[in-house]
C-alpha cells in the first residue's frame, strides 16, 4: 500500500527537512521541527505525489487516501484531546498549501476549519469566550467561501461594515459576541444567496473541499504565472498541510507573529521580529494594526511606543529566543519563522530559510563562517554572484525624495543624474567643453555613439531590449542604463522628451536607476558602494578557492583602473578601435580609411601612432606588469565612415583632396552585410600597414614602460576574426618584423605573444592548425554566437522573444552561453588547440565571461581565464570559486 499521508506533532514526525520534494517546504520543515522537540501543533501532510496523481487521474484521489487521512486525523485528535466536528470539544484545523519552492500568494490558507453551527457553541463553552468563538467562525466562513466556494471577499466586507455602522463603531475589536453571531447569520445567508446551497456544515465536507481547493490552486492563473517567472516546473505539484489550530486571538495573553534569527535587512546577529497581541495569523500580514517589536533593542531602534515581547512576555520571549538559536544552529542558515502564542504557550507554525538583502547575505555568510557554523566554502556558496551587482554601483539614496517619470528595462545597474542631451556629439561637447554631467537620451544607440556614451553618466533609450546595443555597451562600461523606455517620446529636432503629459528639455536634469529601470525628474542623490568589510573578506576567501583567472575587458585608463580596483588579474580584451572614436582621432581615422593609396594611409597612420602609443603606455602603467591582451583593429570600417556632407568636407580638407573624391570612396566602401564583411583581420590582410602601426605603438609603449618602471611588460597581441591559419601566419610575420625593428631601434628586448580570437566556427574546427601558429586563444563568444547561430545580436531581439516563448531556445544565447552549440565549438577548439600546442593559454572574452553559468562552463572545459567588463569582475571571481567548488548552477543560490 502506498503512503499518502505523513503525520507530525507530539515530539515526532514521519517526515524530515530533506523531504521537501515530497512534503513541500512547509510540511518538511514542520516535520523537522517536530522531530527536534520544538512545539508544533500536530497535523499531517498530504504529499505532492497526491497532487500529481490528482492531475493525472482527472482530479481524483488515490483510493487509500481517505482512510489514511482519517487515521492521521485521529492521531491529531489524540494529541490535542479534542474531536474533529465534536459538539462539545471540537478540534479545529488549518489547511495550508506548500510547494517545494515557496510560492507566495498561490493559495490562501484556511484557518478555523471544523466550525459549524453546533461546534461553534462547543468552542464558546470550552474557551469561556463566545466572542472569540463567533469571531473565529465568521473568519472561517469568510475565508472558506472566498477560497473554496468562490464567493468574493467584498460581500463579507460589506456585511461587516454594515454591522459596525449599525452599532456606530469603527474597530472589529469593539464588536460583541452577539454582533459576531449576527454577522455569522448574514454571512451564511449571503453564501446561500450566491450559491443556492448553504454553507457546508459537515466538517469532513469542509476538509475535502479545502484539500481540493489547494490542489486546484496549483493550476490557477496566479500560480502558473508565478511558476513561469521563477522557472518552477509544473510537475512538482503542491503538498497540503492539515494542522491543529492554535489561537493567538483568545485574549491578551495570546499573540501571533513573524521573526528572523538575524536581521534580514542588514544581517546583524540580532533577533528581529514583530507580533500582534490577540490576533490570528493573517492579521499581521494584513497590516490592520501596528505590530509590536519582539525585542527591546528592536523597539528602541524603531522608536516604538508599544512594549516589546521581551518586556511584556519575558518567559515566552526566552523560549522563542532559545528556539531561534536551536533552529539556526540546526539549519545553519538564517531562518524566517511564524509563531503563535495561545494563553502564554508558544507554538511554532513555520520555519524556512529567510530572504535577505545582498548586504545582509554577505554579512550573514561571513559571520556564520567566523562563528564556525558553516565553512568558508559554504559561505561562498551562499552568495548569488548576480546579486553582487547591486553592491558594485552607486545606488539611489533610499531616504531621498523621488519624482517618477517613467519606467523602462533595468539594462545596466547603477544610478546616475545629469543634464539631458539628445546626441552623442552633444554629450561630448557638454562634458568636455562645458564640464557638465549628462544623461544621454536616444531612441536607440549605435557604434558611432560610443564616445558620447562613454562620457555620459547614464544612458536612456526608448527602444531596444536587454541585449540592445545601448544595454550591452553600457554594461560593458559600467554605465547605468535604462533601455526600451517606450512611454517616453523623444523629439530630436525639438530636443525634448515627453512622457505622461510632461516635457523635459535639453539641459534639464533627470536621474535614472539602471537597477530598477526607473527614470526620475530632477536629481536624486546617490550613495557610493562600499567594497570593504564583509565584501572584501568574502572576496579574499573566493580568491583562495578559484582556479580560473579573472581578467577584464578594458581600453580606457578609467576602465582599467576600475578593473584593478575590482581585482582583475589582467586585461583579456583591449578593443583598440574604441580608442579611435575620440573626436581628435576620428578625423585621422577617416582620413586613413578613405585614402586611395597605401601612401595616403601611411600618412594618416603616422598621425595616429603617437595617440595609440600613449594609450598603451597608460594601460601598461595601470596594469603594473599584469598581462594585457590587445586586439588589433576589428570592426567593419563603416563604423568609422563620415555620414554628413560636413564630415566628408572635413576629411577632404584634412587629407588635402576634393570632397567628391572622399564621397566616392565613402560610397564604394558601403557593404550590405558589414558584420560579415571587410572587418577583423581581413583589414590587416588587405591593409597590413594598419596592424603594423598598431604593433609598433604596442612595442614602443611596452619598451618605454618597461624601461621606466623596471617591470616586465608582456603584451599579448590578438588577431581578430581569423578563419584560416594562413591569415594568422601573415599577420604574425608582420608583427614579428615590427617587433624586431622596434627592439633594434631601442636596443631593448621584450617577450610578447601573438594569438588569435576564436570567433568563427571555421576557426574552432581548424583550431589544431591555427594553434601551430597561435600562442593563445581567446574565445570571442559574442561573434562566435552570432556566426554559429547565423543571427545578429542587434537584430535578434524581437524574434528571440518568440523563440523563447515557444521553448525553441531556453535562454538568450547572447546573455548565457549556448553550451550545446557554441559550447561544443569551444570544447572542440580547446581540445584540438591543446593537442597541437600543449599548455596553450585559453580564455574567453565577451558578455559570457561575466555570466555565472557560462563561467561554470568555462571551468569545466578547462579554460585558463575569463574576461568580462570591469564591473562584473567580482561577480566572475565569485562565480569562478563556486564553479571550482562544483556547486554552481549559475544562479538561484541565496
Q: Give the binding-site size for Mg ion (rule: CB under 5 A).
A: 4
C-beta closer to ligand ADP: residue 244 or 250: 244
User: Is 782 annotated as belonging to a binding site?
Assistant: yes
Q: What share of the chain is helix, strand, coil (3-state, %, to 5)?
A: 50, 15, 35
* Binding test (CB under 6 A) with ligand ADP, winner from 261, 350, 395, 629: 350
Decide which of Mg ion, ligand ADP, none touches 462; Cβ closer than 5 to 8 Å per partner kind.
none
Q: How far is the CB of 111 from ligand ADP (least distance, A)?
A: 6
Catalytic residue of the set 845, 848, 858, 868 = 845
Query: Pairing relation of β-strands 292-293 and 438-442?
Result: unpaired
What is the C-alpha separation between 447 and 867, in angstroms, rounded?
21
Q: Which of 27, 209, 281, 464 contacts ligand ADP by CB under 6 A? A: 281
Question: Does 20 sit near ligand ADP (CB under 6 A)?
Answer: no
Residue 780 touching Mg ion (CB under 5 A): yes
Pick from ligand ADP, Mg ion, none: which does 281 bind, CB < 5 to 8 A by kind? ligand ADP
Is 729 marked within a binding site?
no
The answer to whether 759 is a known ligand-binding residue is yes
> Among Mg ion, ligand ADP, none, what binds residue 780 when CB lies within 5 to 8 Å by partner kind?
Mg ion
Q: Which is nearer to ligand ADP, 102 or 769 (CB)?
A: 102
41: contact with ligand ADP by CB under 6 A: yes
96 binds ligand ADP (CB under 6 A): yes
Contacts of ligand ADP in 415-434 (CB under 6 A): none
Q: Which does 243 bind (CB under 5 to 8 A by kind): ligand ADP, Mg ion, none?
A: ligand ADP
Please report where in the chains the cell 511564524 appears, as a residue: 338
For the segment 205-244, give every residue that binds ligand ADP (CB under 6 A).
243-244
Q: Which of 393, 454, 469, 848 is catalytic?
A: 469
- Between β-strands 404-407 and 458-461, what pairing exists: parallel, antiparallel or unpaired? unpaired
Query: Measured from the CB atom, is 133 or 760 closer to ligand ADP?
Result: 133
575 is in an annotated binding site: yes
Beta bridge partners of 628: 571, 715
Contacts of 793 (CB under 8 A, 6+ apart): 467, 472, 782, 785, 786, 814
Rounded Cα–Cα distance for residues 760 and 780 (Å): 9
41 binding partner (options ligand ADP, Mg ion, none; Cβ < 5 to 8 Å by kind): ligand ADP
Among residues 338, 358, 356, the alpha carbon closest in space to that of 348 is found at 338
Binding segment toward Mg ion, per CB under 5 A, in 68-76, 347-355, 413-421, 425-433: 347-355
Contact 381, 545 (CB under 8 A): no
Enumerate the β-bridge partners of residue 7. 44
Q: Kindly state whether residue 245 participates in binding ligand ADP, applying the rule CB under 6 A.
A: yes
262 is in an annotated binding site: no
The verdict on 338 binding ligand ADP (CB under 6 A) reads yes
| Minimum distance from residue 634 beta carbon to Mg ion (Å) | 6
- Give the footprint of ligand ADP on residues 820-849 (CB under 6 A): none
Alpha carbon distance 779, 758 (integer Å): 5
CB of 298 to ligand ADP, least distance (A): 19
Closest-by-Cβ residue to Mg ion is 783
Strand runs labelled E in 150-296: 238-244, 255-260, 272-277, 292-293
| C-alpha 332 chain-centroid distance | 24
Residue 338 CB, nearest approach to Mg ion (Å): 5
> Binding Mg ion by CB under 5 A: which of 513, 534, 569, 783?
783
- C-beta of 111 vs 416, nearer to ligand ADP: 111
* Dihedral of the alpha carbons of 457, 463, 468, 472, in degrees to the nearest 10: 10
- Is there a catalytic annotation at residue 845? yes
Q: Which is nearer to Mg ion, 389 or 783 (CB)?
A: 783
The size of the interface with ligand ADP (CB under 6 A), counted in residues, is 15
Phi then psi dihedrals of residue 284, to 5 deg: -65, -50
- For 114-137, give the secondary structure using H, E and C: CCCCCHHHHHHHHHCCHHHHHHHH
- Nearest CB to ligand ADP, comparing residues 340 and 756: 340
With 0-12 / 13-18 / 19 or more C-beta atoms within 10 angstroms meaning exposed / middle / buried, residue 542 is buried
HSE toward the beta carbon, residue 101, CA cutoff 13 A? 15
Q: What is the radius of gyration, based on Cα positions, of the chain?
A: 34
In 559-668, the DSSP E strands lie at 571-575, 628-631
Nearest residue (CB) to ligand ADP, 244 versus 651: 244
Q: How far is the CB of 352 from Mg ion (least distance, A)?
A: 8
Residue of 246, 316, 632, 655 that binds ligand ADP (CB under 6 A): 246
- As measured in angstroms, the least distance from the Cβ of 759 to Mg ion is 5
Phi, psi of 98 (to 5 degrees): -175, 100
Q: How far is the CB of 350 from ligand ADP (least distance, A)?
A: 5
Q: Distance of CA 273 to CAs 105, 350, 353, Å? A: 21, 14, 15
Q: Of 206, 293, 350, 537, which one interacts with Mg ion (CB under 5 A)?
A: 350
Residue 821, burial from CB neighbour count under 10 angstroms (0-12, 13-18, 19+): middle
CB 755 within 8 A of CB 718: yes
Which residue has its beta carbon closest to ligand ADP?
A: 281
Minimum CB–partner distance for residue 587 and Mg ion (Å): 25
783 binds, among ligand ADP, Mg ion, none (CB under 5 to 8 A by kind): Mg ion
Question: For residue 678, what are the β-bridge partners?
Answer: none
Q: For residue 676, what is the DSSP state?
A: G
* String marking each residue 108-127 x if it binds ligand ADP according to CB under 6 A: -x-x----------------
Looking at the Cβ atoms of 552 and 681, the one nearer to Mg ion is: 681
Question: Is 469 part of the annotated catalytic residue set?
Answer: yes
DSSP H helices, 36-92, are 48-56, 65-80
Residue 725 to residue 833: CA distance in whole angstroms: 12
Here the cell at position 526 is 546617490
Contact partner, 354, from ligand ADP, Mg ion, none, Cβ < 5-8 Å per class: none
- Minimum CB distance to Mg ion smaller for 122 or for 780: 780
Q: Are 711 and 660 in contact (CB under 8 A)?
A: no
Among 14, 121, 268, 282, binds ligand ADP (CB under 6 A): 282
The x, y and z cell numbers of residue 361, run together, are 547575505
783 is in an annotated binding site: yes
User: With contact defined as beta carbons under 8 Å apart, do 248 and 342 qualify?
Assistant: yes
Give the integer Cα–Cα distance in Å for 712 and 706. 6
Taking CB under 6 A as the criterion, the residue among 72, 123, 313, 349 binding ligand ADP is 349
Whether 159 contacts 183, CB under 8 Å: yes
Q: Pick between residue 133 and residue 763 the one whose CB is nearest to ligand ADP.
A: 133
Contact 830, 861 (CB under 8 A): yes
Tell me if 780 is assigned to a ligand binding site: yes
Residues that bind Mg ion (CB under 5 A): 350, 759, 780, 783
Feature table: binding site for substrate: 575, 631, 759, 780-783
Feature table: binding site for Mg(2+): 759, 783
Residues that bind ligand ADP (CB under 6 A): 41, 94, 96, 109, 111, 243-246, 281-282, 338, 340, 349-350
Feature table: binding site: 575, 631, 759, 780-783
Question: What amino acid positions are annotated as catalytic residues?
Answer: 469, 845
Amino acid at each position: 500500500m502506498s503512503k499518502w499521508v505523513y503525520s507530525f506533532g507530539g515530539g515526532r514526525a514521519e517526515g524530515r527537512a530533506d523531504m521537501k520534494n515530497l512534503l513541500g517546504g512547509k510540511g518538511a520543515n514542520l516535520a523537522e521541527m517536530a522531530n527536534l522537540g520544538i512545539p508544533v501543533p500536530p497535523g499531517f501532510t498530504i504529499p505532492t505525489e497526491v497532487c500529481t496523481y490528482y492531475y493525472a487521474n482527472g482530479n481524483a484521489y488515490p483510493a487509500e487516501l481517505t482512510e489514511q487521512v482519517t487515521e492521521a486525523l485521529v492521531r491529531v485528535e489524540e494529541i490535542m484531546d479534542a474531536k474533529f466536528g465534536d459538539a462539545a470539544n471540537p478540534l479545529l484545523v488549518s489547511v495550508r498549501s506548500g510547494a517545494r519552492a515557496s510560492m507566495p500568494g498561490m493559495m490562501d490558507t484556511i484557518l478555523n476549519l471544523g466550525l459549524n453551527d453546533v461546534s461553534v457553541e462547543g468552542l464558546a463553552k470550552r474557551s469561556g469566550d463566545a466572542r472569540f468563538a463567533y469571531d473565529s467562525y465568521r473568519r472561517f466562513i469568510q475565508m472558506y467561501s472566498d477560497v473554496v466556494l468562490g464567493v468574493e471577499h467584498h460581500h463579507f466586507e460589506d456585511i461587516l461594515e454594515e454591522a459596525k455602522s449599525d452599532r456606530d463603531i469603527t474597530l472589529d475589536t469593539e464588536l460583541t459576541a452577539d454582533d459576531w453571531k449576527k454577522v455569522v447569520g448574514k454571512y451564511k445567508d449571503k453564501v446561500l444567496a450566491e450559491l443556492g446551497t448553504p454553507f457546508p456544515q459537515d466538517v469532513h465536507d469542509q476538509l475535502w473541499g479545502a484539500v481540493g481547493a489547494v490542489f486546484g490552486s496549483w493550476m490557477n492563473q496566479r500560480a502558473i504565472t508565478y511558476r513561469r517567472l521563477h522557472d518552477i516546473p509544473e510537475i512538482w505539484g503542491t503538498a497540503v498541510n492539515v494542522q491543529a489550530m492554535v489561537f493567538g486571538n483568545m485574549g491578551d495573553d495570546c499573540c501571533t507573529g513573524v521573526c528572523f534569527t538575524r536581521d534580514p535587512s542588514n544581517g546583524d546577529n540580532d533577533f528581529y521580529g514583530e507580533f500582534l497581541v490577540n490576533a490570528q495569523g493573517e492579521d499581521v500580514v494584513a497590516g490592520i494594526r501596528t505590530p509590536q517589536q519582539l525585542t527591546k533593542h528592536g523597539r528602541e531602534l524603531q522608536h516604538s511606543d508599544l512594549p516589546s515581547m521581551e518586556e511584556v512576555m519575558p518567559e515566552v520571549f526566552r523560549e522563542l529566543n532559545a528556539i531561534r538559536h536551536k533552529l539556526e544552529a540546526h539549519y545553519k542558515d538564517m531562518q524566517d519563522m511564524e509563531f503563535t502564542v495561545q494563553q502564554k504557550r508558544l507554538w511554532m507554525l513555520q520555519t524556512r530559510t529567510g530572504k535577505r538583502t545582498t548586504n545582509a547575505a554577505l554579512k550573514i555568510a561571513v559571520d556564520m563562517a567566523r562563528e564556525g557554523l558553516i565553512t568558508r566554502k559554504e559561505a561562498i556558496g551562499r552568495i548569488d554572484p548576480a546579486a553582487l551587482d547591486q553592491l558594485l554601483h552607486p545606488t539611489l539614496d533610499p531616504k531621498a525624495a523621488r519624482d517618477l517619470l517613467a519606467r523602462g528595462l533595468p539594462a545596466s545597474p547603477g544610478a546616475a543624474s545629469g543634464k539631458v542631451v539628445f546626441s552623442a556629439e552633444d554629450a561630448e561637447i557638454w562634458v568636455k567643453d562645458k564640464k557638465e554631467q549628462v544623461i544621454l537620451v536616444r531612441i536607440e544607440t549605435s557604434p558611432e555613439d560610443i564616445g558620447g556614451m562613454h562620457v555620459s553618466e547614464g544612458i536612456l533609450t526608448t527602444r531596444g531590449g536587454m541585449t540592445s546595443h545601448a544595454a550591452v555597451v553600457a554594461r560593458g562600461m559600467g554605465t547605468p542604463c535604462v533601455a526600451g523606455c517606450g512611454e517616453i517620446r523623444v523629439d530630436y529636432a525639438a530636443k525634448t522628451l515627453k512622457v505622461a503629459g510632461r516635457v523635459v528639455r535639453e539641459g534639464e536634469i533627470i536621474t535614472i536607476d539602471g537597477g530598477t529601470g526607473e527614470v526620475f525628474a530632477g536629481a536624486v542623490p546617490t550613495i557610493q558602494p562600499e567594497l570593504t568589510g564583509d565584501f572584501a573578506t568574502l572576496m579574499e576567501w573566493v580568491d583562495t578557492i578559484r582556479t580560473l583567472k579573472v581578467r577584464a575587458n578594458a581600453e580606457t585608463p578609467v576602465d582599467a583602473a576600475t578593473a584593478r580596483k575590482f581585482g582583475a588579474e589582467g586585461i583579456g580584451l583591449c578593443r583598440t578601435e574604441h580608442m579611435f572614436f575620440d573626436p581628435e582621432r576620428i578625423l585621422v581615422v577617416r582620413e586613413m580609411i578613405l585614402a586611395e593609396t597605401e601612401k595616403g594611409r601611411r600618412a594618416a597612420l603616422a598621425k595616429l601612432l603617437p595617440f595609440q602609443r600613449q594609450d598603451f603606455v597608460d594601460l601598461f602603467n595601470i596594469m603594473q606588469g599584469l598581462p594585457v591582451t590587445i586586439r588589433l583593429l576589428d570592426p567593419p570600417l563603416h563604423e568609422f565612415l563620415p555620414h554628413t556632407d560636413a564630415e566628408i568636407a572635413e576629411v577632404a580638407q584634412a587629407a588635402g583632396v576634393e570632397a567628391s573624391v572622399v564621397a566616392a570612396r565613402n560610397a564604394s566602401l558601403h557593404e550590405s552585410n558589414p558584420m560579415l564583411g571587410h572587418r577583423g583581420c581581413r583589414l590587416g590582410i588587405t591593409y597590413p600597414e594598419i596592424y603594423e602601426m598598431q604593433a609598433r605603438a604596442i612595442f614602443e609603449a611596452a619598451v618605454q614602460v618597461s624601461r621606466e618602471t623596471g617591470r616586465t611588460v608582456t603584451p599579448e597581441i590578438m588577431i581578430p576574426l581569423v578563419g584560416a591559419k594562413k591569415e594568422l601566419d601573415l599577420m604574425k610575420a608582420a608583427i614579428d618584423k615590427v617587433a624586431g625593428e622596434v627592439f633594434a631601434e631601442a636596443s631593448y628586448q621584450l617577450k610578447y605573444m601573438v594569438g588569435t580570437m576564436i570567433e568563427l566556427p571555421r576557426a574552432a574546427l581548424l583550431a589544431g592548425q591555427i594553434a601551430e601558429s597561435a600562442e593563445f586563444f581567446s574565445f570571442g563568444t559574442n561573434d562566435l554566437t552570432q556566426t554559429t547561430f547565423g543571427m545578429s545580436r542587434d537584430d535578434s531581439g524581437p524574434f528571440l522573444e518568440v523563440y523563447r516563448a515557444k521553448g525553441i531556445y531556453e535562454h538568450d544565447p547572447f546573455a548565457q552561453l549556448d553550451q550545446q552549440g557554441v559550447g561544443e565549438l569551444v570544447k572542440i577548439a580547446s581540445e584540438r588547440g591543446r593537442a597541437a600546442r600543449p599548455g596553450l593559454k585559453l580564455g574567453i572574452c565577451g558578455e559570457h565571461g561575466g555570466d555565472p553559468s557560462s563561467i561554470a562552463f568555462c571551468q569545466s572545459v578547462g579554460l585558463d581565464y575569463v574576461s568580462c567588463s570591469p564591473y562584473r569582475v567580482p561577480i566572475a571571481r565569485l562565480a569562478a570559486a563556486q564553479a571550482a567548488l562544483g556547486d554552481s548552477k549559475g544562479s538561484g543560490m541565496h
